[in-house]
Amino acid sequence: MPRFKPDLRESEATPEGIYLRRREFLRLGAAGAIGAATSAFPIPALAGPDDPAGEVLPVARKADMAGGEKPTPWKSVTTYNNFYEFGTDKADPAQRAGGLRTRPWTLAVDGEVKRPLTLGIEEILKLSPLEERVYRFRCVEAWSMVVPWVGFPLAGLVKRAEPTSRARFVVFQTLLDPAQMPGQRSRILEWPYTEALRIDEAVNPLTLLAVGLYGRVLPAQNGAPLRVITPWKYGFKGAKSIVRMRFVEEQPRTTWAVMAPTEYGFYGNVNPAVDHPRWSQGKERRLGEFLRRDTLPFNGYGAEVAGLYAGLDPRKLY
């Protein structure tokens, strides 16, 4: 059995940042030159390899919830990923997840609910109008991005299942299929990947079930066809490619909290004041940028969510 390999060292984020920034520079440089040569004869922009790709989703409304910041390029969002089912390298998911079958796909909603549900992905897509929400997103390992997710608030689905009075948490489970997910053939993590939220967190209006990115169907490497997004928490709280939501009474075991309890808490709220045991959490690097910026408490969403944690030890937030 392979020994547990700690997740990316913070220092590894540096060359990637420079690499992506150089590419962006080269791309803009080339486009600028073409623009200058042909400015008298404007031509429609051609779709390049860095532009969003895949099936277009019908988006009913758009909201910028990242203070007007420019979204991180599609290319960075879809080629620098954490999805251990497809390997532990940031480049692995983009290279290895492409064959994941996302149709048919069903989501089971069960446990402490009055109305257990089994929903096909097509039905899920019709539950509520799709929204685009531009959110800041930050990983424990100090890289971050600004992402136009497409999805809908999880609250609607929770209400539909009618949790019982005993339900206090909701557990999200990723697909378990070692034939499709080569990482699951080794015991690098406990499979299936499992995450959970308190029910008040799950129904917070910021919490999304995401089905897309940049107006397109979610690429497999980003958690197709369905993943959870909680923008005030570290990225690990958002399970990808989920097949089950189970309502429970007791705080459940979650993958990373079990694997590395000193590095990942149950709450996983972004908190620059609580260091990771191997590095400070005070700064972060946006993919594609060179200079680091300050990490914001709750990733900048404190006004919306800080009240959920009144009375809780801030160390527990992590």
Ligand X SMILES: Nc1nc2c(c(=O)[nH]1)N[C@H]1C(S)=C(S)[C@@H](COP(=O)(O)O)O[C@H]1N2
Footprint on this chain of ligand X (rule: CB under 6 A): 81-85, 139, 174, 193, 222-223, 235-236, 238-241
Q: Which is nearer to Mo ion, 84 or 152 (CB)?
A: 84
- Tokens found for residue 309: 């944690």
Q: Is residue 236 within the footprint of Mo ion (CB under 5 A)?
A: yes
The conformational region for residue 23 under phi > 0 = left, psi -120 to 50 = alpha, else beta, is: alpha
244: helix, strand or coil = strand
CA 260 to chain centre: 20
If one asks whether residue 235 binds Mo ion (CB under 5 A), the answer comes out as yes
Nearer to ligand X by Cβ, of 109 and 287: the residue is 287
Radius of gyration for the chain, computed over Cα atoms and rounded to the nearest angstrom: 20
- The listed partner (ligand X, Mo ion, none) that binds 222, CB under 5 to 8 Å by sort, is ligand X
Using CB distances below 5 to 8 A depending on partner kind, what does residue 84 bind out of Mo ion, ligand X, none? ligand X
**Closest residue to Mo ion, based on beta-carbon distance:** 139
Residue number with the smallest Cβ distance to ligand X = 235
Closest of 75, 98, 99, 80 to residue 90, by C-alpha = 80
Q: Which does 238 bind (CB under 5 to 8 A by kind): ligand X, Mo ion, none?
A: ligand X
Q: How far is the CB of 208 from Mo ion (least distance, A)?
A: 17
In the bound state with ligand X, the residue whose beta carbon lies nearer, of 176 and 199, is: 176
| Binding map of Mo ion across residues 146-185, x = CB under 5 A, - = no contact | ----------------------------------------
Q: Given the complex with Mo ion, which of 201 and 284 has the nearer CB atom? A: 284
- For the chain, give percent helix, strand, coil, nearest 5: 30, 25, 45
Q: Largest Cα–Cα distance in the chain?
A: 68
What are the strands of the beta sheet with 194-198, ordered from one edge? 117-120, 106-111, 242-248, 169-174, 194-198
Residue with Cβ nearer ligand X (3 or 114)? 3
Judged by beta carbon distances under 5 to 8 A according to partner kind, the member of Mo ion, ligand X, none in contact with residue 269 is none
Nearer to Mo ion, 125 or 140 (CB): 140
Work out whether 139 is an interface residue with Mo ion (CB under 5 A): yes
3-class SS of residue 133: strand
298 Rama class: left (phi>0) / alpha (psi -120 to 50) / beta: left
Residues that bind Mo ion (CB under 5 A): 82, 139-140, 235-236
